[in-house]
A and B are shown apart, each in its own frame.
Chain A
Amino acid sequence: MTEQTLTTLTWLIPAGPLLAFFLIVLFTNRSRTLSWVLAWAGVFMALVLAWTVAINTIATDVHHLEEHPTVVHDAIEWLPVGDYFEGTWVEIGIAVDPLTSIMLIMVTFTITMIFIYSVGYHNWGAPLGKILGVPNHLQEEPLLSRFFAFMSLFAGGMLLLVIAGDLLLLFIGWEIMGFCSYSLIGFWYARDYHLKPDDIPHIPPRKAGIKAFLTTRIADVVMLLGIVFFYSVFGTLNFADALSAESLAHAAMTVGAVALGVMSLLLFAGTVGKSAQWPLHVWLPDAMEGPTPVSAVIHAAAMVSAGVYLIIRIFPLIAVGMGPQGSPMVGVIIAGIGAFTALMAATIAVAQNDVKGVLAYSTISQLGFMVAAIGTGAYVAAAFHLITHGFFKALLFLASGSVIHGMEHGAHEVHDHHTDPQDMRFMGGLRKKMPATFWTFLIGGLALSGFPFITAGFWSKDEIFADAWHQWSREGDILALTVFVMLAVAAFLTAFYTMRQISLTFLGKPRSPLAEHAHESNGFMTIPLVLLSVFAIAVGWSGIPETFPILGPLVNNNFFHHFAGSTIYETLFELSELNLVDSAIITLPFDVAPLGTSLLVALGGLFIGWWIYGRKPLKEGQIDPLVRPLGPLYTFLNNKWYWDELYQFLFIRPTVYLSERVVYEIIDKGIIDGTLHLIGRSVYRLGYYVKRFEERVISGGVDWLKDQFLAIAKEFRYLQTGRVQEYALISTLIATALIAVILLINYGWLARLF
């Protein structure tokens, strides 16, 4: 394929979903069937184009890629800056390099699966639901067209972001997704909850949408500062130009590596918001209020990946920022936030009862793994975990949606509309009722917990551990050791809560009539599950280290490592020669310690989870076995460390107080309204006097004048006799008299008279 064709194809990748969005919104919104068919067509087109482009990159020789990583690049002039005639433009453009390619494969595939799934999830073909803006169980979603329109726009935004060759286009896609996440999380806008006093507080979808939007907005403002900083230092927003070794070295000389570190932290703030890292993680659990396909697309395939994708993209910048000439604080902050988030979210997930809630915190936790990996310099490991996580977390979300669907089915059959169909305490025994969902969930769960050798999650987590361990053992990096320990604990908890979730949901006997009457979901939902579970296992095999005994050389010589690494291989190599970064990308030697840790935490967590929850499955009404031994700690975890309450106390209450008591009462009602009322009263008074003046002087004067004229006219009308001959006589006499006078003057007689 020629480069020209590839460029065109790359530009067209986001076009399908974006076009589908406009067609659905403008034309086909009345037909739900036509709308989803269009949406499917859009994503299938994106899938085919993206895989074509990506496979073309994969087929390129890795050594060639290391020297020329950007296979496709193109840009259009978009915004004139400075002097127009000098021709300085801000460009937006696309670029495809190995990192883009692997993202394209993951994103388009999972999004397509989610689109297929959504049709079944919204009960297409069932009788039409009557109530707008709430879930209509077992009835077709009445707003199906709107759903697919926003999903298409979302997919278009994500694909724009992935193929972006510069920060500007990336930011455009970023914000499109921000808007779509708001509208999709709040999709069931009319839904309301009537909470009992001892319930864990949760907010309705419309508020969750606003919360997600506002929380990420805080981060985006900081990120925008980073983009401006980026532009002012490099003079371009293009990744390939700005983040080349030459340009980075020049920037490090002019503004200093520490300033580059600050810049990368500003950009990293965007990741903190989008990828739900502490302290801005609070939006993600509430975003579960959206329909489950939305959760899958936001929390697996697209939006949260975008945040991590950003820091992987700008990794050379981060590497210089925390390199020998930069500040180690950059690494400490990024890795610290990542590791803390991973650990914190994992502990919260242990004590959640909502089936999607566990997955939400697990997502936050896994994203923490990736961020921590970036913070310790493990570029490839972060990218690898991003990809594998995208597959298995999409699978888990879709499977949990299938479980909820089955439970709702049960609820419908037994006419029970009070029991929460998402609460795992009321599930159990679904293994027999929903076999396809069970097996795929099991595969996803094992991948998440890092079940050794088979699943994708094992290999990607193992690589993160190996990188951190290598960093510690070779360079004595205390940070890397801390991160290693925190992540190991988090991974242990991950395996534990995954086993807990699987046991509570699928094992034992049904703990409610809902679970008793649940049954398997339709083919639209189960087929994507099966396809995704293939990838949840197989993707991991592309990244088995070649130094790994037996399996490494047997499989593929660690294709993923070399392929993804080739994106910045040359750049990092040159930078390390300039002593701007610590080390180039290297092939890690095999080490037993991280592998042992990895095995221990995964198998240990799974075993303890099984010991507590799987061995003797819970009976109906039995409380969680962790409640008694953990005591108040369990309540603390169950309430999510009280972050929401803390933010409520620290930020929201003061803001509301300030706006109600100070801004509203004093500034608005007192000063602004007072001034306005004063002006109003003065003008009213002035108007009263003007009105009096008008009445007396102007109006009165005109009336008086009119009366005078009338009186005169009354007298003069008698002159008008109507006899034409009289008029003629008079005018003749006057004319004669005038002529006489003129004659008199002419002859000087008049003068002679006096």
Chain B
Amino acid sequence: MIPLSWYLLVAAALFCIGLYGVFARRNAVAILMAIELMLNAVNINLVAFWRYVTPEESTGMAWAVFVLTVAAAEAAVGLALVISVYRNRDSVVADDLDLMKN
């Protein structure tokens, strides 16, 4: 059986990729996608811990389902914001959206 740490490593890697995406990508849509990556990394953790630590209770799986739901809602709101920003400013580049500078 594959040890728990392997899943955790995969999840950590996925989370770091997501984090890197959030910090480094210029496109707002890409940033949103990176956030989704981080959420899914969390999901892997949840499911893995459930399976290895408390398989008799379904708490971890239930949590994962909640996170998926929240992620979907968040993606919808986020994309709507991006579209709205695009309509107003003809750009979805995060660095251009500096109305709050200084």
Take A717-B102, A718-B102 as given contacts and tell me if A723 and B94 are in contact as well, using a CB distance cutoff of 8 Å: yes
Q: Is A631 an interface residue when CB atoms closer than 8 A count as contact?
A: no
Give the residues in chain A near B100, CB-CB below 8 Å.
Answer: 720, 722
Interchain CA distance A720-B101 in the complex, whole Å: 5
Give the residues in chain B near A721, CB-CB below 8 Å.
Answer: 98, 101-102
A and B contact pairs by CB, cutoff 8 A, 12 listed: A718-B102, A720-B100, A720-B101, A720-B102, A721-B101, A721-B102, A722-B99, A722-B100, A722-B101, A722-B102, A725-B94, A728-B22
Q: Is A253 an interface residue when CB atoms closer than 8 A count as contact?
A: no
Q: Is A751 an interface residue when CB atoms closer than 8 A count as contact?
A: no
Chain A interface extent, by class: 10 to 19
In contact, A729 and B94 (Cβ under 8 angstroms): no
Chain A residue at smallest Cβ distance from B31: A725
Q: Which of B17-39 contact A (CB under 8 A)?
A: 19, 22-24, 31
Q: Which of A707-726 contact B (CB under 8 A)?
A: 717-718, 720-725
Give the residues in chain B near A732, CB-CB below 8 Å.
Answer: 19, 23
| Max chain B C-beta neighbours (<10 A), residue from A717, A718, A725, A729 | A725
Interchain CA distance A717-B24 in the complex, whole Å: 24
Q: Is B97 an interface residue when CB atoms closer than 8 A count as contact?
A: yes
Q: Is B56 an interface residue when CB atoms closer than 8 A count as contact?
A: no
19 A-B pairs besides A721-B101, A723-B94, A728-B22 with CB distance below 8 A are A717-B102, A718-B102, A720-B100, A720-B102, A721-B98, A721-B102, A722-B98, A722-B99, A722-B100, A723-B98, A723-B101, A724-B94, A725-B23, A725-B24, A725-B94, A725-B95, A728-B23, A729-B23, A732-B19
Chain A residue at smallest Cβ distance from B101: A722
- Residues of chain A touching chain B, judged by Cβ–Cβ distance below 8 Å, are 717-718, 720-725, 728-729, 732
In contact, A724 and B97 (Cβ under 8 angstroms): yes
- Residues of chain B touching chain A, judged by Cβ–Cβ distance below 8 Å, are 19, 22-24, 31, 94-95, 97-102
Chain B residue at smallest Cβ distance from A718: B102
The one of A720, A723, A729 in contact with B95, judged by C-beta atoms closer than 8 angstroms, is A723
Give the residues in chain A near B94, CB-CB below 8 Å.
Answer: 723-725
Chain A contact residues: helix, strand, loop or mixed? helix
Chain A residue at smallest Cβ distance from B22: A728
In contact, B22 and A725 (Cβ under 8 angstroms): yes
Give the residues in chain A near B19, CB-CB below 8 Å.
Answer: 732
Nearest chain B CB to A22's CB is how many angstroms away?
Answer: 75
Nearest chain B CB to A132's CB is how many angstroms away?
Answer: 77
Give the residues in chain B near A725, CB-CB below 8 Å.
Answer: 22-24, 31, 94-95
Nearest chain A CB to B17's CB is how many angstroms away?
Answer: 14
Interchain CA distance A747-B100 in the complex, whole Å: 41
Nearest 10 A-B pairs (CB), nearest first?
A722-B101, A722-B98, A722-B100, A717-B102, A729-B23, A720-B102, A725-B94, A724-B94, A725-B23, A723-B95
Give the residues in chain B near A723, CB-CB below 8 Å.
Answer: 94-95, 98, 101
Interchain CA distance A99-B74 in the complex, whole Å: 105
Give the residues in chain A near B97, CB-CB below 8 Å.
Answer: 722, 724
Interchain CA distance A717-B100 in the complex, whole Å: 10
Nearest chain A CB to B77's CB is how many angstroms away?
Answer: 16
Chain B residue at smallest Cβ distance from A729: B23
Interchain CA distance A723-B98 in the complex, whole Å: 6
Interchain CA distance A717-B97 in the complex, whole Å: 17
Give the residues in chain B near A722, CB-CB below 8 Å.
Answer: 97-102
Give the residues in chain A near B101, CB-CB below 8 Å.
Answer: 720-723
Interchain CA distance A721-B101 in the complex, whole Å: 5
Chain B residue at smallest Cβ distance from A716: B102
Interchain CA distance A384-B37 in the complex, whole Å: 124
Interchain CA distance A723-B102 in the complex, whole Å: 10
Interchain CA distance A332-B97 in the complex, whole Å: 115
Nearest chain A CB to B70's CB is how many angstroms away?
Answer: 19
Nearest chain B CB to A732's CB is how many angstroms away?
Answer: 7
Interchain CA distance A245-B19 in the complex, whole Å: 118
Chain B residue at smallest Cβ distance from A719: B102
Nearest chain A CB to B26's CB is how many angstroms away?
Answer: 9
Give the residues in chain B near A717, CB-CB below 8 Å.
Answer: 102
Give the residues in chain B near A720, CB-CB below 8 Å.
Answer: 100-102
Give the residues in chain B near A724, CB-CB below 8 Å.
Answer: 94, 97
Interchain CA distance A721-B97 in the complex, whole Å: 11
Interchain CA distance A724-B94 in the complex, whole Å: 7
Nearest chain A CB to B28's CB is how many angstroms away?
Answer: 9
Nearest chain A CB to B68's CB is how many angstroms away?
Answer: 23
Nearest chain B CB to A736's CB is how many angstroms away?
Answer: 10
Chain B residue at smallest Cβ distance from A717: B102
Give the residues in chain B near A729, CB-CB below 8 Å.
Answer: 23
